[in-house]
């Protein structure tokens, strides 16, 4: 049986402008691999409703799970909830449970519940809430799309809330081996070795260490014993 598949849609002008470095894709890739879910695609789109709708609809049809990051806050440019509602053809509503959670968060901290806070309680009709213990305002799931905050610490907490409910596949084993030789000088031997391990993914990446050029070879696979066997073969082919 193959592992479940997933994609992430990163939403935000600040990511595309280079002002903010995205951390959420990197984090999600790691935890999904450990959970046995294969992250197959990453897309980044601006704060534009048509771009979000197009991205969500394409990804949700292609993969078993879609995670979105960003655009569910209280400001005018937080339009992800509206875009998700449009993508699924359902109305956007103020969810009573979401509103109760945000009101409770505000009350505990002596904050006034305003129109801006209520904006974060607007979710597509029929969505399931994703718990947010850190700032009160929940994410939500519609069918196979999990909509989460862009703030990395909140995104991670929301992933932690969703992940236990998702079917688990076989975790990916990843190991690397560094060769103190340029990539071009090992390409032929490495190609032959990779062909012997067709069930694994073997990639090579040029790198520098202490001013010397070398190559880092990364081996990925679902069978940990086969990965170990391939690493041993690399040791034999390219002795340290």
Six-digit token pair at 171? 């975790």
Q: How confident is the model at residue 157, as a pLDDT?
A: 96
Using DSSP, state whether 135 is helix, strand or coil: coil
Residues of the chain with CATH 3.40.980.10: 5-165
Residues of the chain with CATH 3.30.70: 173-237
Q: How confident is the model at residue 1, as a pLDDT?
A: 65
Report yes or no: 69 and 84 within 8 Å, Cβ to Cβ: no
Q: How confident is the model at residue 2, as a pLDDT?
A: 86
Cα first-last separation, the chain: 37
pTM for the model stands at 0.88
Domain 173-237 -> CATH class: alpha beta
Q: Which parts of the chain register pLDDT below 70?
A: 1
Q: How far apart are the C-alpha atoms of 223 and 225, rounded to whole Å?
A: 5
Six-digit token pair at 12? 């935000």
**Phi, psi angles (nearest 5°) of residue 53:** -60, -45
Q: Per CATH, the architecture of 5-165 is what?
A: 3-Layer(aba) Sandwich (3.40)
Q: How confident is the model at residue 208, as a pLDDT?
A: 77
């Amino acid at each position: 049986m193959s592992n479940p598949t997933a994609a992430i849609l990163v939403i935000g002008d600040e990511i595309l402008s280079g002002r903010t470095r995205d951390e959420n894709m990197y984090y999600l890739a790691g935890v999904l691999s450990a959970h046995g879910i294969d992250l197959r695609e990453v897309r980044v789109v601006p704060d534009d409703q048509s771009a979000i709708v197009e991205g969500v609809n394409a990804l949700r049809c292609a993969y078993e799970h879609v995670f979105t990051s960003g655009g569910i806050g209280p400001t005018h440019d937080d339009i992800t909830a509206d875009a998700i509602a449009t993508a699924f053809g359902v109305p956007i509503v103020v969810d009573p449970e979401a509103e109760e959670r945000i009101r409770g968060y505000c009350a505990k901290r002596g904050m006034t519940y305003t129109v801006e806070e209520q904006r974060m309680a607007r979710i597509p009709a029929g969505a399931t809430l994703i718990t947010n213990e850190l700032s009160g305002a929940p994410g939500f799931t519609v069918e196979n799309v999990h909509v989460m905050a862009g703030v990395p610490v909140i995104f991670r907490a929301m992933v932690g809330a969703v992940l236990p409910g998702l079917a688990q596949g076989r975790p990916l084993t990843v190991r690397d081996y560094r060769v103190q030789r340029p990539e071009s000088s090992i390409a032929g031997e490495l190609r032959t070795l990779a062909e012997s391990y067709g069930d694994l993914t073997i990639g090579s990446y040029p790198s520098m260490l202490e001013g010397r050029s070398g190559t880092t070879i990364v081996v990925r696979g679902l069978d940990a014993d086969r990965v170990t066997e391939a690493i041993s073969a690399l040791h034999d082919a390219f002795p340290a």
